[in-house]
Amino acid sequence: MTNPMIVIKDLTKRFGTTVALDKISAEIGEGEFFSLLGPSGCGKTTLLRTIAGFGEPDGGSIYIDGQTMAGVEANRRPTNMVFQNYAVFPHMAVWENVAFGLRRRRLARREMENLVDEALSMVGLDGFGAREPHSLSGGQRQRVALARALVLRPKVLLLDEPLSALDKQLREQMQSELRHLQRAVGITFVLVTHDQEEALNMSDRIAVMFDGRIVQQSTPQDIYMKPVTRQVAEFIGLMNFLGVCVKSETPAGYRVDVAGLGEVDIERGQVGSTASMSTLTAGVRPETLTILFDESDASAREVHGTVSDASYFGDMTYYDVMLKGCDEPVTISMRNTVARPVLASGAKVRIGWDADSIILL
């Protein structure tokens, strides 16, 4: 991580008796694309709003670019926010919306015109200056909100679920546009989302939040491959959970018996940081299990199973497969190919797996 742009220490916020933020600490680097990911009600929006300066925290502190934000109101902070519903001023044309912040700074007319036009072109809205907000599509309104915030060159741009109101195709397009925009302007972006795919594909780092706490703070790859708790693993992507029995401790880790798969050596790095021996389970991602379709396919470790269900998604098929010694089927995702048939339920299959892809939680 580069120099920290935002430092959050023991931040606490209560609404009545509910604790919305429970002693949150985090560092967000300069120029980083940082996502706050979690289910609704986990406190991610409250955290974002507290960074923006809406609502005083009940404890802890926020520093932005080395400056304490205690007692600094939202309009004096080096942050700007893109609201979930965009909050484009309905009674002002697009150009006036973007110029709003600059007018408050009393810029010279010429300079302001240049900055507004530049910001509009940056978000792909050249020539939209005279349009009224009600004549714009959702995606265009979002761009106005972005231009309006970015034109002020904030040190931090805060985005509150900016893509949740868009349809799937536009959302995916805006994801990559936002990412490119962030790289181009080099401003620190903090994004709130409940959509794990969005967080995974846009962020440099992600903080996963549950019940007012940050449970894991890491890169998308780490969050996906090495979730620290079962809660994180369940929230992000699909994860199979299998029963585990620890047989012995080895120099490198543990020898365990995984239900349905068999005995295997697990390294310490594959054990979640909050794992407790009494409630241990093994997590296996669906794509790390492989159905061995051909006789000639081989894997170092193989088990036998029976397909109980198949869900076809075009590019992928998700199979539910019963393994011997398991009460519930495991999910296995397989990329479809032209030559490969979609198996019917009841089909007997060989499954290849790998010790490295197992994590203990």
Interacting residue ranges for another protein, rule: CB under 8 A: 52-54, 73-75, 79-81, 83-85, 87, 89-91, 100-101, 104-105, 148-149, 152
The answer to whether 5 and 30 have CB atoms below 8 angstroms apart is yes
The answer to whether 64 and 156 have CB atoms below 8 angstroms apart is yes
To another protein, the closest distance from the beta carbon of 164 in angstroms equals: 14
The pairing of beta strand 188-193 with beta strand 205-210: unpaired
Nearest to residue 38, comparing CAs of 221, 283, 207? 207
Q: Which is nearer to another protein, 85 or 308 (CB)?
A: 85
Say which residues have a Cβ less than 8 Å from residue 159's Cβ, sequence separation at least 6: 81, 82, 178, 189, 190, 191, 192
Is 254 strand, coil or helix? strand
Q: Which is nearer to another protein, 57 or 272 (CB)?
A: 57
The answer to whether 160 and 48 have CB atoms below 8 angstroms apart is yes
To another protein, the closest distance from the beta carbon of 160 in angstroms equals: 9
Residue 98, token pair as written in the block? 């973007």
To another protein, the closest distance from the beta carbon of 53 in angstroms equals: 8
To another protein, the closest distance from the beta carbon of 191 in angstroms equals: 16
What distance in Å separates the CA atoms of residue 304 and residue 222, rounded to the nearest whole number?
30
To another protein, the closest distance from the beta carbon of 100 in angstroms equals: 5
Q: Which is nearer to another protein, 105 or 168 (CB)?
A: 105
To another protein, the closest distance from the beta carbon of 34 in angstroms equals: 19
Q: Which is nearer to another protein, 84 or 308 (CB)?
A: 84
Nearest to residue 125, comparing CAs of 88, 94, 158? 94
Q: Which is nearer to another protein, 106 or 168 (CB)?
A: 106
Q: Which is nearer to another protein, 164 or 218 (CB)?
A: 164
What distance in Å separates the CA atoms of residue 20 and residue 14, rounded to the nearest whole number?
5
